[in-house]
């Protein structure tokens, strides 16, 4: 057009000027810059945690919670910023926390955190305003208050709102459980456990990120991902102190030994492992040296068998739901225990361990038990079930 002259590159320069607040030509967006800045702040915060440096931690923002976790012996602590939602001088970061307890964790505990930050406009410095569990994640012990620790020979007990005397009792139980499990299970495992004892049932539920009603009456659970053959995950035995207090001396030991068995067998427990086998095996180890009869350990199932109601099948995974009827849940656990007890008696304890590993070695549930029974026990599921039903009649009738 007459009267106008195009300057080469002028439109590019204008575009860069227009977008300079959002993106530098060939550079990072403002969101990328904020994410990198937040990551640097959290890296300094992680370094302060590992160095037990309260002053350095406070320089990154709020010091709330630092004293709560200072007693925990940490081998690693790091943050990974996954996303940042920034509005002016405030930001909310979606963060993954990874940490390991020294001498106990082969792999890290991973937890989602929501970190809110603010920025000093003049200095351009981001600081942490709050650090809380992400919406879909459970709390960590220090989110509930100062953590007290007690060390055992084979255990580390983390307690919130519990006395040293109470925590020592759990360490003693765990220290008896670890050798008992090692005597039964011939697989490779750390032979050490971390036990977490919160203040109450509600504290347990908070750590697990679920409603308290899901765990009412459940004395303890073990957390951790299954199938960690290459890198054994960091397991935690989490106690429900309300239910635990109702148990007798034997019951308390059986529960800790049961949960410790889950820690030991974790690397060989996969989605192919049915719950009757994983729970039954853990109960078998728990009661292995108790001297109790089958009828004493399995009263609900004994009552059913005495009335002629012998189960037609082994329990399904659904039978182990925490919200199931209490008597049905008890019969599911007792059925799995007696199936494992039968294998140990009739095929031998070494075969029971081999059967457990063989079932978990499959990529999926379909065909896993059939193959394991055939390869290790030399039988088929229908024959095994018939043999188990006869075993129930003989031991409980």
pLDDT value at 137 more than 70? yes
Query: Stretch 65-79: mean pLDDT, rounded?
Result: 96
In the chain, where the domains are located: 24-137, 139-266, 270-397
Residue 310 dihedral angles phi and psi, to the nearest 5°: -80, 130
Which DSSP category does 243 fall into? H
pLDDT digits (tens, 9 = 90+) for 253-272: 999 999 999 999 999 999 99
Distances (CA, A) of 203 to 67, 144, 145, 224: 19, 7, 10, 18
> Residue 144's Cα: distance from chain center in Å?
17
Query: Stretch 35-47: mean pLDDT, rounded?
Result: 97
pLDDT digits (tens, 9 = 90+) for 159-195: 999 999 999 999 999 999 999 999 999 999 999 999 9
Question: CA quadruple 195, 197, 201, 204: dihedral positive or negative?
Answer: negative
305 is written with which tokens? 């068998």
Q: Is 265 left (phi over 0), alpha (psi -120 to 50) or beta?
A: alpha
**Rounded CA separation 93/116 (Å):** 6
For residue 225, name the pLDDT band (cuts at 50, 70, 90): low
Strand bridging mode 193-197 / 236-239: parallel
**Rounded CA separation 361/272 (Å):** 8
Question: CA quadruple 221, 223, 225, 230: dihedral positive or negative?
Answer: negative
**Rounded CA separation 239/178 (Å):** 17
Query: Stretch 117-135: mean pLDDT, rounded?
Result: 91
Query: Stretch 84-108: mean pLDDT, rounded?
Result: 95
pLDDT value at 231 more than 70? no
CATH number of this structure's domain 139-266, picked from the four choices 3.20.20.80, 3.30.1450.10, 3.30.2010.30, 3.40.190.10: 3.30.2010.30
Distances (CA, A) of 41 to 64, 95, 125, 142, 143: 16, 12, 9, 21, 20
293 is written with which tokens? 């009869």
Q: Is 68 left (phi over 0), alpha (psi -120 to 50) or beta?
A: alpha
**Rounded CA separation 144/127 (Å):** 23
For residue 10, name the pLDDT band (cuts at 50, 70, 90): very low
pLDDT digits (tens, 9 = 90+) for 294-335: 999 999 999 999 999 999 999 999 999 876 688 999 999 999
24-137 folds as Nuclear Transport Factor 2; Chain: A, (3.10.450)
pTM for the predicted model, two decimal places: 0.88
Lowest-confidence range among 6-10, 123-127, 278-282, 297-301?
6-10
């Amino acid at each position: 057009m007459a009267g106008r002259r195009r300057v080469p590159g002028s439109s590019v320069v204008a575009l860069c000027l227009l977008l300079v607040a959002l993106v530098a030509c060939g550079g990072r967006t403002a969101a990328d810059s904020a994410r990198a800045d937040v990551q640097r702040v959290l890296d300094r915060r992680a370094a302060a945690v590992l160095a037990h440096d309260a002053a350095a931690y406070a320089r990154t923002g709020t010091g709330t919670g630092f004293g709560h976790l200072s007693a925990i012996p940490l081998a690693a602590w790091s943050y990974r910023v996954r996303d940042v939602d920034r509005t002016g001088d405030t930001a909310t970061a979606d963060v993954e926390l990874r940490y390991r307890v020294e001498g106990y964790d082969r792999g890290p505990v991973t937890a989602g955190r929501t970190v809110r930050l603010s920025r000093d406009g003049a200095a351009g410095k981001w600081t942490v305003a709050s650090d809380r569990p992400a919406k879909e994640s459970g709390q960590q012990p220090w989110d509930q208050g100062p953590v007290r620790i007690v060390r055992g020979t084979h255990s580390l007990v983390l307690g919130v709102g519990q006395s040293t005397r109470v925590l020592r009792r759990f360490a003693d139980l765990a220290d008896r459980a670890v050798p008992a499990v090692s005597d039964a299970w011939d697989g490779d495992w750390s032979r050490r456990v971390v036990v977490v004892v919160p203040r109450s049932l509600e504290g347990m539920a908070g750590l697990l990120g679920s409603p308290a009603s899901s765990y009412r009456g459940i004395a303890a659970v073990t957390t951790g991902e299954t199938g960690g053959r290459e890198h054994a995950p960091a397991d935690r035995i989490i106690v429900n102190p309300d239910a635990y207090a109702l148990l007798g001396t034997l019951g308390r030991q059986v529960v800790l030994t049961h949960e410790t068995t889950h820690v030991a067998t974790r690397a060989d427990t996969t989605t192919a492992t049915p719950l009757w086998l994983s729970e039954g095996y853990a109960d078998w180890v728990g009661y292995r040296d108790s001297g109790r009869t089958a009828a004493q350990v399995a009263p609900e199932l004994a009552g059913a068998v005495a009335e002629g109601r012998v189960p037609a099948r082994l329990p399904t995974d659904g039978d182990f739901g925490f919200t199931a009827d209490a008597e049905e849940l008890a019969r599911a656990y007792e059925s799995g225990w007696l199936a494992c007890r039968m294998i140990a008696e009739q095929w031998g304890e070494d075969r029971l361990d081999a059967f457990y590993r063989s079932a978990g070695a499959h990529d999926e549930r379909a065909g896993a038990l059939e193959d394991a029974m055939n390869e290790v026990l030399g039988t088929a599921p229908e024959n095994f079930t018939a043999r188990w039903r006869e075993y129930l009649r003989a031991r409980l009738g």
